[in-house]
Structure 1
Amino acid sequence: MTALLTLLALLFEAMLGYPERVFRAIGHPVMWMGALVGALDRGLNREGRLPWQRKLAGVAALLILIAATSGVAYLIQHWLLLMPLGMIPLAALAGTLLAQRSLYAHVEQVAVALEDDGIEAARASVSHIVGRDTAALDEAGVARAAIESLAENFSDGVVAPAFWMMAGGLPGAAAYKAINTADSMIGHHSERYEQFGWASARLDDLVNLPASRLSALFLIIAAYLTPGASASEAFGVVLRDASRHRSPNAGYPEAAVAGALGLALAGPRTYEGKPADGTWIGEGRYGATADDIRAALTLYRRADMVMIGGVAIVALLVVILT
Structure 2
Amino acid sequence: MIFYSMKELLLLAAAAIAIDWIVGDPKWPTHPVIWIGRLIRQLERLLAPDRFVSQPSVVRALGVVLTVVTLVISCGSMWLLVWAADAVHPWLGYAVSAWFISTTIAVKGLKEAAMLVYQPLIEGRLDEARKYVGYIVGRDTTKLDERESSRAAVETVAENTVDALVSPLLFALLGGAPLAMLYRAANTLDSMVGYRNEKYTYFGWCSARTDDVLNFIPARLTGVMLTISAFCLPQMKAGQSLRAIRSFAHLHPSPNSGIPESAVAGALGIELGGTNMYFGVPSERARMGWPTRPLQPNDIVLTVRLLYSVSFILFIGVIAVWFVVR
Q: CA deviation at 1:244?
A: 1.0
Q: Percent identity?
A: 34
Q: State the 4+ residue runs in structure 1 displaced beyond 4 angstroms.
A: none
Match of 1:226 in 2: 233
Counterpart amino acid of residue 47 in structure 2: L
Task: Name the CA distance, whole Å, in 1 between partners of 2:293 and 2:30.
Answer: 39
Q: CA deviation at 1:228?
A: 1.3
- 2:64 corresponds to which of 59, 67, 90: 59
Secondary structure of the 1:279 match is strand
- 2:140 corresponds to which of 127, 133, 145: 133
Task: Name the CA distance, whole Å, in 1 between partners of 2:257 and 2:25.
Answer: 25
Counterpart amino acid of residue 42 in structure 2: A
Match of 2:259 in 1: 252
Counterpart amino acid of residue 33 in structure 2: V
- 1:255-294 deviation digits (Å, cap 9, x = unpaired): 1110110010012211111111211010115731111212
Secondary structure of the 2:62 match is helix
Alignment of 1:76-225 (within 5 A): 76-82=81-87, 83-86=89-92, 87-225=94-232
Alignment of 1:27-46 (within 5 A): 27-46=30-49
Task: Name the CA distance, whole Å, in 2 between partners of 1:272 and 1:317.
Answer: 53
Task: Name the CA distance, whole Å, in 2 between partners of 1:77 and 1:117.
Answer: 48
Task: Name the CA distance, whole Å, in 2 between partners of 1:46 and 1:103.
Answer: 33
Which segments of 5 or more consecutive residues in structure 1 lack a partner in the other structure? none
Secondary structure of the 1:158 match is helix
Q: CA deviation at 1:309?
A: 1.4
Secondary structure of the 2:285 match is coil
What is the total number of aligned residue pairs between the two structures?
Answer: 315
Q: Residue 318 in 1 paired to residue 325 in 2?
A: yes
Kept after mapping to 1: 8 A contact 2:17/2:311 = no
Secondary structure of the 1:269 match is strand
Which segments of 5 or more consecutive residues in structure 2 lack a partner in the other structure? 1-7
Task: Name the CA distance, whole Å, in 1 between partners of 2:176 and 2:264.
Answer: 29
Kept after mapping to 2: 8 A contact 1:218/1:304 = no
- Could you tell which deviates more after superposition, 185-194 or 139-148? 185-194
TM-score, normalised via structure 1 length: 0.94
Kept after mapping to 1: 8 A contact 2:97/2:176 = no
Counterpart amino acid of residue 67 in structure 1: V
Secondary structure of the 2:51 match is coil
Secondary structure of the 2:80 match is helix
Counterpart amino acid of residue 31 in structure 1: I
Kept after mapping to 2: 8 A contact 1:161/1:173 = yes
Kept after mapping to 2: 8 A contact 1:264/1:281 = yes
TM-score, normalised via structure 2 length: 0.93
Supply the RMSD in Å over aligned alpha carbons.
Answer: 1.4
Task: Name the CA distance, whole Å, in 1 between partners of 2:73 and 2:243.
Answer: 42
- 1:105-152 deviation digits (Å, cap 9, x = unpaired): 110111101012421111111111111111111111111110000000
